[in-house]
Amino acid sequence: MWKRIAAALAGIVILLAAVVLWRASRLTSRQPAVEAAPAAVVDTAAAAAHLAGAIRFRTISHQQGQGTDSAAFLALHAYLADAYPRTHEALTRETVSDLSLLYTWQGSEPDLDPIVLMAHQDVVPVIPGTEAAWEHPPFGGDVADGFVWGRGSMDDKLNDISILEAVEELVAGGFTPRHTIYLAFGHDEEIGGLHGAREIQRLLAARGVERFAFVVDEGGAVVRGMIPGIERPVALVGIAEKGYASVELTVDAEGGHSSTPPPHTAIGVLSRAITRLEDHPFPARLDGPAREMFAFTGPEMSLGGRVLFGNLWLFSPLLTRMLLATPASAAMVRTTTAATIIEGGVKDNVPPIHARAVVNHRILPGETVPSVLERDRRIIDDERVQLHALGDDGRDPSPVSDPTSPAFSLLARTVRQVLAGEDVVVAPYLVMGGTDSKYYAQVSPNVFRFSAAPMAADALERVHGTNERISVEGLATNVRFYARLIRNSDGM
């Protein structure tokens, strides 16, 4: 009997191995075949000088109560008009909410759905006390060692300048697009885009422009070495972005004197609530954009990777555990929880009568702000702790754009044409942060988040941190991407 059982088990193992290898062998590449296209003419030195000049304007978005330096934005507007005279002659430019910019490039076939190319003018402040650590002044706009240095060089004056450089050259060459193209440059993306991108979208809707062929904003990049099993560069195109909710936790107590304390002070109760949230993370789900990313990258891997990603029906739990091993990859598959603020107490011998904390969630598609709040209440399970969403900036995850759509294919073809010499892999992915494109997610099924400038491994540390910079060649690549995308869109 045991021999028969062993033989049966061996047969099952052999059959399973055969199925796994067969499925791995049937993985086919999702990368579009492309022919090299004529490269856009880019004056690399001029583009770098223009980006450097834009960086010198301190268009900083501060948190509430700190105000906005309107003069800096208006000076930047004048600078752009001087730097790109052909664009400002051929396109209509208007200001929205005083500081945002909307350019309209009228297409030759007005019945076609228009296109939106987005970027934002504002930047985050320099972290106080870090100024001396910058190799070049954060608002100096230096071009040195093959890089453009300064706040906004990556996020996101890179895309403002890249788009305008591309349009300037196309206009100079006599090009007129078939689709009307809007260039939407908000002024407050770093604090939510409520007065910039949202108002631009509302203005277009009021004019009857409520559907777009596609929208491209910041959010993705060309990376190398970040996807295990792929040595080639990978162009990560955001097809969705996580939602956002900051939850305020408050506890009120009677206070008294520290010599006769209650079993748990307000701070103790609050600390327990935070610990329970951290000890009970949201469940991980390998679906949506994360699963799509592996569907595009799996076929480009060696046999081991193809076996894994060609058989997610079997290996999904294993892959999920692997992703949960590091914070960066764990954020791809779960709603994250981060305690960011805690306050309470005014004197060392007086238990506080009030304690407060803020917990920030980045919400995975498939969940909502209300469902996150309800789960927090259930996990904390303490009537002494009051919860409510903080402010009015909570938002649900964006809809997920279809990576099999013609619009995504257009973008993928464009990337592979511009980076033809590097055989780049194009893959969808989930943007962990937020972008201005969220205001277009309900009016276009094709909202993508991507910049073609290759990003080094330390890009995330630099983008809102110290020594933000972009390579001059990366800037030129980004210009070529936008120029080719605009040309290719005529074939839609």
Catalytic residues: 122, 189
Q: Can you tell me the distance from the alpha carbon of 2 to that of 352, in angstroms, rounded to the nearest whole number?
A: 69
Residue 397 CA to chain centroid, in angstroms? 12
CB atoms inside a 10 Å sphere around CB 173: 11
| Phi, psi dihedral angles at 428 (to 5 degrees) | -75, 155
Q: Can you tell me the distance from the alpha carbon of 479 to that of 365, in angstroms, rounded to the nearest whole number?
A: 32
Structure tokens at 45: 């030195």
Structure tokens at 83: 């730097």
Pick from 184, 123, 187, 156: nearest CA to 470: 156
| Phi, psi dihedral angles at 485 (to 5 degrees) | -60, -45
Q: Can you tell me the distance from the alpha carbon of 10 to that of 296, in angstroms, rounded to the nearest whole number?
A: 33
Secondary structure letter of residue 437 according to DSSP:
G
Secondary structure letter of residue 70 according to DSSP:
H
Burial of 229 (0-12, 13-18, 19+ CB in 10 A): middle
Question: What sign for the dihedral angle of Cα 326, 220, 241, 29?
Answer: negative
Secondary structure letter of residue 190 according to DSSP:
G
Alpha carbon of 279 to those of 258, 269, 276, 284, 398: distances in Å? 29, 15, 5, 14, 27
User: Which own/partner contact pairs does 45-48 have at CB distance under 8 Å and 24+ positions apart?
Assistant: 46/165, 47/161, 47/162, 47/165, 47/472, 47/475, 47/476, 47/479, 48/143, 48/148, 48/472, 48/475
CB contact at 8 A, 415 and 427: no
Buried b or exposed e, range 26-39, using 16+ CB within 10 angstroms: ebeebbeeeeebee
Q: Which residues are within 8 A (CB) of 86 and not within 5 positions of it... i.e. 6 or more apart? A: 168, 171, 172
Q: Which residues are within 8 A (CB) of 214 and not within 5 positions of it... i.e. 6 or more apart? A: 115, 116, 407, 410, 411, 444, 446, 447, 448, 489
Give the residues across from 355 on adjacent strands: 251, 344
Pick from 123, 122, 105: nearest CA to 182: 105
